[in-house]
């Protein structure tokens, strides 16, 4: 091909490329304009077609509800046309060759954490330190980082190395965590104990004399070798300047007390429930050989219970009544448990009036008070003499004058036979007439309710009622629902003097009425002339066993009333409890409702 033809072909290709570019440019511009027009049209259409807010209308039920929808003009718009864009073509590069995947070793997680202490100690004193270590398994665990925490930092703290510092007395759990697994170590932190150190004045060195001095000594007073549960005793064993460690002769004794190698012994409160003798002995740390005498120690249980008694009767949290006219004293004894504990309490007596008693005499387990000629209350408290104990018991002594009689008050109404009656299921609080100047009140009364017709046992005691209960000291009478009439007897004794004749009251229990109907005799259509002046009423109670008294109630006392006798005088009332046929008195014209309740 000639040079001229090549140049001609090249020129033709350039012209063709230029024409194609112009055509594409002209195609894009109209489409963009059209898209902008369509967007504006859509916005206008939305504004025109959006319905105005219609206020809610509440229509009364009588009027049918009519729902009117607002008229909205329909607007037809051309559908929106999305602009067309030429696809973008990213340049394609040759893909780099893929390297073969590298095999990775599996991650080994920690499976267990074991916390230990070199000397197997599980106690320390306030202010002292103890080093703990954590063993993480398996050996090839990828991460063996341990995080140390204390369950109670007011008792002990632990740093990042496992070093524990005693802060306050109590039990604490130290935890070592590695990932998802943990290990724990239990510790008891006790108060620092003063150590009595007995020096060996004659020993020059341990190698030649072999003289061991212990505290307490093997031949000391047995009381010096008693250890109260929960308290600590420090043992020492020395030969000159050489100090020895301690251990139990019988390893099973470790279940009753903690003994550190350094000689701190502390009986467990929950384990020592009776006196127990344990044996301890010093040994050489280097060769583990025993080097001194066996020391016997007695573990003493703590006082866990105190019961106060007067004449062998339990009066703990109760009341003791003393007649100030008798001239005799009252003695309160403390029954202490467990029996093997130290039988000793601390007594305290409190009263608003210090002149209520005299001649106070007390010892470890008893206290006696002699009343003066005044009524009042005295509170006696017995607290365990064990160190830091909160175990105590309280009783109240009432110094009172002798009551000569008792009468039951606030009894229910009487029926037509003159018997007190109640509807089965009703409640009532009974009281007495005890004179306030005697120093007695209804709190000094003992109540009982029995069923009529029951027999006493050989000790002249009656069984409690099947149909009612009463508070022994409160007088709260609660009756039970009955299907037929039952009779109960309520008794009241003076607690301060059981020789005073008890008061009695008989109460008839009626079953509740199943229904009651009422009518106005001779009245038709519920209408009556005012000139008639009175209307006879009549009620019917549906139950022969139920009480036949009915309560009548007038809804408007301005229109009608009942008449009743009060202290010999006739009274006009709007409510009356009467027989089944009372008389209604008319007063003014109008509508009145009469209700009958059984």
Considering only CA atoms, which of 151, 122, 125 is closest in space to residue 268?
A: 122
Listed residues 345, 377, 400: the one ending a domain: 400
- The structure's pTM equals 0.42
The pLDDT score that the predictor gives to residue 131 is 93
How many domains are there within the chain?
6
Segments forming the whole domain that contains residue 535 = 516-597
Question: Quick check: 269 and 230 in contact, CB under 8 A?
Answer: yes
Considering only CA atoms, which of 247, 250, 263, 227 is closest in space to residue 125?
A: 263
Asked whether residue 44 is domain-assigned, the answer is no
496 and 551 fall within a common domain: no
Asked whether residue 159 is domain-assigned, the answer is yes
505 and 416 fall within a common domain: yes
Supply the CATH number for residue 474's domain.
2.60.40
Listed residues 371, 400, 429: the one ending a domain: 400
Question: Quick check: 173 and 185 in contact, CB under 8 A?
Answer: yes
Asked whether residue 83 is domain-assigned, the answer is no
The pLDDT score that the predictor gives to residue 420 is 94
CB under 8 Å, gap of 24 or more: what pairs does 560-563 form? 560/584, 560/585, 560/586, 560/587, 560/592, 560/594, 561/585, 561/587
- What stretches of 332-489 show up as alpha helix (H) in DSSP? none
Question: Quick check: 424 and 445 in contact, CB under 8 A?
Answer: no
Listed residues 510, 531, 551: the one ending a domain: 510
First-to-last C-alpha distance (Å) of the chain: 134
467 and 527 fall within a common domain: no
Asked whether residue 42 is domain-assigned, the answer is no
349 and 391 fall within a common domain: yes
391 and 412 fall within a common domain: no
What is the CB-side half-sphere exposure of residue 435 using CA atoms within 13 A? 9
184 and 275 fall within a common domain: no
346 and 390 fall within a common domain: yes
362 and 378 fall within a common domain: yes
433 and 501 fall within a common domain: yes
The pLDDT score that the predictor gives to residue 438 is 52
Asked whether residue 376 is domain-assigned, the answer is yes
Which residues, at least 6 apart from 311, have a Cβ–Cβ distance to it below 8 Å? none
Q: How far apart are CA 585 and CA 532, in angstroms?
A: 9
DSSP 501-568: PPEEEEEEEEPPPS-EEEEETT-BTTB--GGG-EEEEEEEES-SSS---EEEEES-TTTEEEEEEETT
The pLDDT score that the predictor gives to residue 192 is 59
Per cent of the chain over pLDDT 70 is: 74
Asked whether residue 100 is domain-assigned, the answer is no
324 and 385 fall within a common domain: yes
**Which parts of the chain sit beneath pLDDT 70?**
1-105, 191-212, 218, 325-326, 402-403, 435-443, 496-499, 513-514, 543-548, 578, 598
Both structure tokens of 486: 């039952």
Asked whether residue 104 is domain-assigned, the answer is no
Question: Quick check: 206 and 242 in contact, CB under 8 A?
Answer: yes
Asked whether residue 506 is domain-assigned, the answer is yes
The pLDDT score that the predictor gives to residue 517 is 79
505 and 413 fall within a common domain: yes
Neighbours of 546 (CB within 10 A): 20
296 and 309 fall within a common domain: no
Supply the CATH number for residue 286's domain.
2.60.40.60
The pLDDT score that the predictor gives to residue 500 is 76
The pLDDT score that the predictor gives to residue 324 is 79
């Amino acid at each position: 091909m000639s040079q001229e033809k090549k140049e001609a072909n090249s020129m033709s290709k350039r012209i063709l490329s230029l024409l194609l570019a112009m055509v594409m440019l002209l195609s894009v511009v109209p489409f963009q304009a059209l898209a902008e027009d369509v967007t504006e049209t859509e916005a206008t259409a939305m504004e025109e077609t959006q319905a105005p807010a219609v206020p809610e209308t509440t229509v009364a039920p009588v009027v049918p509800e009519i729902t009117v929808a607002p008229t909205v003009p329909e607007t037809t718009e051309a559908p929106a046309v999305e602009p067309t864009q030429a696809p973008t073509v990213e340049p394609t590069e040759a893909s780099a060759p893929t390297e073969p995947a590298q095999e990775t070793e599996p991650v080994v997680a920690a499976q267990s954490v074991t916390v230990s202490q070199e000397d197997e100690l599980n106690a320390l004193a306030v202010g002292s330190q103890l080093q703990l270590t954590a063993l993480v398994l398996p050996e090839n665990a990828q991460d063996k980082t341990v995080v140390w925490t204390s369950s109670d930092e007011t008792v002990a703290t632990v740093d990042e190395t496992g070093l524990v510092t005693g802060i306050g007395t109590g039990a604490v759990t130290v935890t070592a965590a590695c990932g998802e697994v943990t290990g724990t170590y239990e510790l008891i932190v006790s108060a620092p104990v003063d150590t009595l150190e007995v020096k060996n004045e004659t020993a020059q060195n341990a190698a030649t004399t072999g003289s061991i001095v212990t505290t307490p000594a093997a031949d000391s007073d047995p009381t010096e070798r008693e250890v109260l549960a929960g308290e600590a005793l420090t043992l020492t064993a020395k030969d000159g300047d050489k100090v020895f460690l301690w251990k139990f002769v019988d390893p099973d004794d470790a279940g009753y007390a903690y003994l550190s190698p350094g000689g701190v012994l502390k009986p467990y409160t929950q384990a020592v429930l009776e006196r127990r003798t344990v044996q301890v002995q010093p040994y050489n740390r280097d060769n583990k050989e025993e080097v001194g005498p066996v020391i016997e120690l007695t573990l003493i249980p703590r006082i866990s219970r105190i019961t106060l008694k007067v004449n062998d009767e339990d009066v703990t949290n109760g009341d003791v009544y003393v007649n100030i006219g008798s001239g005799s004293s009252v003695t309160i004894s403390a029954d202490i448990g467990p029996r093997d504990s130290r039988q000793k309490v601390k007594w305290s007596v409190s009263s608003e009036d210090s002149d209520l008693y005299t001649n106070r005499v007390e010892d470890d387990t008893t206290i006696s008070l002699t009343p003066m000629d005044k009524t009042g209350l005295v509170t006696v408290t017995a607290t365990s003499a064990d160190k830091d104990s909160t175990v105590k018991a309280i009783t109240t002594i009432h110094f009172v004058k002798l009551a000569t009689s008792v009468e039951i008050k606030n009894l229910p109404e009487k029926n037509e036979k003159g018997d007190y009656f109640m509807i089965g299921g009703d409640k009532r609080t009974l009281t007495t007439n005890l004179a306030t100047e005697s120093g007695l009140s209804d709190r000094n009364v003992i109540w009982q309710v029995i069923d009529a017709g029951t027999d006493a046992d050989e000790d002249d005691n009656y069984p409690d009622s099947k149909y009612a209960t009463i508070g022994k000291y409160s007088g709260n009478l609660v009756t039970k629902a009955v299907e037929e009439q039952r009779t109960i007897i309520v008794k009241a004794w003076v607690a301060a003097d059981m020789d005073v004749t008890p008061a009695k009251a008989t109460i008839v229990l009626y079953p509740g009425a199943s229904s009651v109907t009422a009518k106005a005799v001779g009245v038709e259509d519920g209408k009556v002339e005012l000139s008639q002046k009175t209307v006879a009423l009549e009620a019917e109670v549906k139950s022969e066993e139920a009480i036949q008294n009915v309560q009548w109630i007038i809804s408007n006392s301005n229109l009608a009333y009942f008449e009743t006798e009060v202290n010999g005088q006739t009274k006009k009332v709007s409510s009356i409890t009467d027989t089944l046929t009372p008389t209604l008195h008319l007063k003014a014209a109008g509508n009145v409702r009469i209700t009958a309740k059984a």
